[in-house]
Amino acid sequence: MAEMSRRSFLKTTAGAAAAVPVLAGGWQHLLSAEKPGYFEREFGISDALCRKVLAASLARGGDYADLYFEHTIGNWIVLEDGKVSRAYSDVALGVGIRTVKGDQVGYGFTQELDEKAMLNAAAIAATIAAGGKTEPAKQFAWLKTANHYPLVKLLTDVPLTAKLPLVQGVNEKCFALSPLVVKVNATFHDQQKRIMVVTSDGVKAEDLQPRNYLTAAVVAEKDGKREQAGWNLGGRRDFSYFSQAAVEAIAVKAVADTLLLFDAVQPPAGEMPVVLGPGVTGVLLHEAIGHGMEADFNRKKTSTYCTMIGKKVAEPFVTIIDDGTIPGMLGSINFDDEGIPGQRTVLVENGMLKSYMHDRISARYYKVKPTGNGRRESYQHYVQPRMRNTLMLAGPADPRDVIRAAGKGIFVQNVSNGQVKIGEGDFAFYVSQGRLIEDGKLGAPIKDINIMGNGPKMLQNIGMVANDLELFQGGTGACGKGGQAVPCGFGQPSCLVKSLTVGGVRS
């Protein structure tokens, strides 16, 4: 059989990702030491080739064009019923080519990183315009950024034998914690995503984005009744993050949350005060409020916030940011998928709406600078304004005072399965963990209820914000929008919402 070159091998495996098996040692032989020029070394992507492809994408005019190269390697290990039931890898390799004319986008992509395939994709992107050609920059300058997720060791250099003890350890610890545990599923996932963005205005940026998580899903049985819960830790982490302490923390949390549900009750239904606990409940902030502050919804006048810049949207003790620079967080980025450096964007400051989250298109429309929120799922997808790590900052109140002020209501510790109408902000979320609040004190655990409301109204209705800000340290979260999923982080302190609709038991 004829010898296959490394470049040809990578193309072949990228096109048949689902068939790639996990091998001890992973894909370490495909990667070289960290220094600029990965895509040129491994795939022959030179500046001259990039300029030729950009010129083709601007051959019929256009305001701007960019190339988004991607090489992603992902690995999964799944343990069920005490045994590793699945272990597999996938590979994505390709380039997306975009031409922008006004607020219109032409887009083409290809898995083949050769000149002919890229020029064909560029010709497709160019059809959005119909005028004289535009010339790209003659030279490209490397973008210099901070690194918010440094690796001691490439994830692709971590062998399978080092990952197996993680899922086995979670499984053993969960069973050891309680005789009521009858089933444990444990999963470890890591992903190493290399990207390069080359723009027609002369920017060239390369990044290596890690992503990983370790999860436990627990089922317990008591007196013929079953309950289940789970927990995970992760983000953009070096493999060393997944220590024995992390294994134990995941197992302890997953088992404790499961056992607590045996004593859970349903609260009465109706309008009542709701205290959102710190950390993971920030997903409600993300979904019900954050999306409405993405600039494309406001540019298209579909968001409630489209006329609210500079106006009051919350009480003075409420400040909300979207931050791509928090070390190790799932939504952090050294630069976005348009080559704009990661940064901290203040959305709401002391109750006033200060900014939207912008990509290049919306920034040009609003005559402001991009905020580094232009993101996409992969080279097969176009850019949209997307959140990174969306947080409500700590307020002045003591958490105990927040619960005391609620009087009678519910305390929400975790939510899931949310539905949101992004334009209006109407939402419904399932409360998977929480407690009753009675006489200003935490009471019995609750389960099997929904909370419903309107995001902008909820923001206006926040009566207290505590000083106990927590960032959710999980790694499984992905935000969906426009048929694309991107990793995002979130967090918040405890806060009192004066009134939300609780779907509990009718009295």
Q: Would you give the DSSP letter of residue 488?
A: -
- Residue 1 located in a structural domain: no
Asked if residue 275 and residue 216 are part of one domain, the reply reads no
**Residue type, position 387, single letter:** M
229 lies in the same domain as 359: no
For 307-377, list the strands marked E by DSSP: 320-323, 344-349, 352-353, 374-375
Mean of pLDDT values over 59-87: 96
Q: Report if residue 315 sits inside a domain.
A: yes
- Of 261, 291, 314, which residue constitutes the final position of a domain? 261
Question: Which two structure tokens, joined as six digits, stand for 123?
Answer: 């010709």
Residue 221 lies in a domain: yes
Q: Say if pTM beats, i.e. exceeds, 0.75.
A: yes
Tokens standing for residue 276: 């959102």
145 plus 256 within the same structural domain: yes
Residue 402 has pLDDT above 70, yes or no: yes
Helix spans in 279-355 (H):
282-285, 295-299
Same domain assignment for residues 237 and 311: no
In a shared domain, residues 319 and 239: no
- In whole angstroms, give the CA distance from residue 431 to residue 475: 20
Q: How far apart are the first and last CA of the chain?
A: 76
Within a domain: 257:
yes
pLDDT of amino acid 505:
63
Q: Quick check: is 198 in a domain?
A: yes
- Please indicate, yes or no, if residue 482 is contained in any of the structural domains: yes
Quick: pLDDT tens for 158-172.
999 999 999 999 999
Measured between alpha carbons, how far is 59 from 309 in angstroms, rounded to an integer? 38
Q: Give dist(CA 487, CA 148) in Å, integer.
A: 15
- Predicted pLDDT of residue 282: 94
40 and 186 fall within a common domain:
yes
The pLDDT assigned to 253 comes to: 98
The verdict on residue 37 lying in a domain is yes
Say if CB 386 and CB 486 are below 8 A apart: yes
Averaged over 362-386, what is the pLDDT? 97
Could you say which of 261, 285, 302 is where a domain stops? 261
Tell me if 186 is assigned to some domain.
yes
Distance between CA atoms of residues 477 and 488, nearest Å: 6
Per-residue pLDDT at 455 exceeds 60: yes
Q: Return the C-alpha torsion angle 404, 409, 414, 420, nearest 10.
A: -130
* Full residue range of the structural domain in which residue 341 is found: 270-503
Residue 9, pLDDT above cutoff 90:
no
Residue 166 and residue 214 share a domain: yes
Residue 148 has pLDDT above 50, yes or no: yes
Q: Work out the pLDDT band at 504, boundaries 50, 70, 90.
A: low
Q: Work out how many domains the chain is built from and give that number.
A: 2
Please check whether residues 241 and 321 belong to one and the same domain: no
Q: Residue holding tokens 């053993």?
A: 172
Q: Is the pLDDT of residue 72 over 90?
A: yes
Same domain, 365 and 255: no
Two tokens at 65?
A: 């064009």
Q: What is the DSSP pairing of strand 478-481 with strand 484-487? A: antiparallel
**Are 35 and 102 found together in one domain?**
yes
Q: Tell me which of 8 and 454 has the higher pLDDT.
A: 454
pLDDT number for residue 343: 96
CATH at 39:
3.30.2290.10
Nearest Cα residue to 403 out of 488, 326, 463: 463
Residue 245: the pLDDT is: 98
DSSP 8-state code for residue 279: S
Mean pLDDT of the chain, nearest integer: 91
Q: Which residues, at least 6 apart from 321, have a Cβ–Cβ distance to it below 8 Å?
A: 344, 345, 346, 347, 390, 391, 393
Q: Are 133 and 217 in a shared domain?
A: yes
Of 261, 288, 321, the one marking the end of a domain is 261
pLDDT over 90, % of the chain: 87
User: In this model, does residue 407 exceed pLDDT 90?
Assistant: yes
- As a whole number, mean pLDDT of residues 433-459 equals 94
My answer on whether 251 and 275 are in the same domain is: no
**Those residues with Cβ within 8 angstroms of residue 206's Cβ, 6 or more apart along the chain or in another chain:** 36, 37, 38, 39, 142, 194, 195, 196
Q: Please report where in the chains the tokens 């791509």 appear, as a residue.
A: 324
Residue 3 tokens, joined:
């010898």
